[in-house]
């Protein structure tokens, strides 16, 4: 099975959130609204890290630990980023990506529904939490994701419980409420529905996030 590069990013000061998916393009949410940008999506840089270029629209560089840097239009971006490489079987499997940015804390989660699974409870989840100075990544032993949808099937709320290990007494928690929505089309017919989130977590931290669901070709 191949991997698909997915990068979620946000800059709270600019009120900007986005997601870029290799082969499908980029979806950007700004105070002016949500719009899809043309192009092949993010790519690895020869010197390391990742980049996203849409001529006339944006030029961004990403480092998993350092975040997103560059320009969106005339706006300088110095924000957060989550870089994921998710399993890609040609659009036959439902997958989810959730990224939540809470100041010094970042959470990135991916979920894949294997063939033959009957619902949300049978998905395979992986998550990491990044925090500290310098940032350190912690793999989460037992991530749990709950999602609420509206009548049209759009994500409206999500909650994360992150159990760091078997002996953890309490989970780390984060949640988000959707404030905007958009969609990207993949070659071959799969689609990714995206909810842009207003987020909150432990200690009263607040921030931004992205929740994306890629639906298989029917």
Q: Is the peptide bond before 147 cis (omega within 30 degrees of 0)?
A: no
What pLDDT is attached to residue 64?
A: 66
Q: Average pLDDT of each block of 10 consecutive residues along the chain (218 residues)? A: 89 95 94 92 85 94 85 94 84 88 95 70 87 88 96 96 87 97 90 96 95 86
| Global confidence as pTM | 0.93
Distance (Å, whole) CA 124 – CA 164: 16
> What is the reported pLDDT for 119?
59
Separation of alpha carbons 189 and 172, rounded Å: 37
Q: Where along the chain do its domains lie? A: 2-215
| Predicted pLDDT at 132 | 84
Beta strands, E only, 46-150 = 50-54, 58-63, 67-72, 75-88, 95-102, 105-112, 124-131, 136-139, 142-149
Q: Is the separation of the CB atoms in 26 and 182 below 8 Å?
A: no
pLDDT at 91: 65
């Amino acid at each position: 099975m191949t991997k698909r590069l997915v990068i979620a990013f946000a800059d709270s000061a600019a009120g900007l959130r986005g997601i870029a998916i290799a082969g499908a393009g980029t979806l950007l949410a700004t105070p002016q609204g949500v719009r899809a940008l043309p192009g092949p999506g993010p790519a690895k840089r020869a010197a390391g890290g990742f980049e996203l270029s849409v001529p006339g629209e944006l030029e961004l560089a990403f480092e998993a630990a350092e975040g997103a840097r560059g320009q969106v239009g005339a706006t300088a971006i110095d924000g957060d980023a989550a870089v994921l490489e998710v399993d890609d079987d040609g659009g036959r499997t439902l997958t989810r990506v959730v990224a939540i940015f809470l100041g010094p804390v970042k959470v990135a989660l991916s979920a894949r529904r294997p063939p033959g699974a009957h619902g949300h409870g049978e998905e395979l989840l992986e998550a990491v939490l990044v925090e500290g100075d310098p940032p350190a990544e912690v793999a989460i032993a037992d991530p749990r994701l709950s999602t609420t949808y509206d009548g049209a099937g759009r994500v409206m709320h999500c909650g994360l419980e992150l159990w760091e290990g078997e002996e953890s007494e309490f989970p780390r928690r984060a949640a988000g409420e959707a404030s905007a929505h958009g969609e990207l089309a993949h070659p071959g017919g799969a689609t990714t529905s995206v909810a842009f989130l207003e987020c909150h977590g432990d200690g009263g931290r607040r921030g931004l996030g992205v929740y994306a669901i890629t639906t298989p070709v029917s």
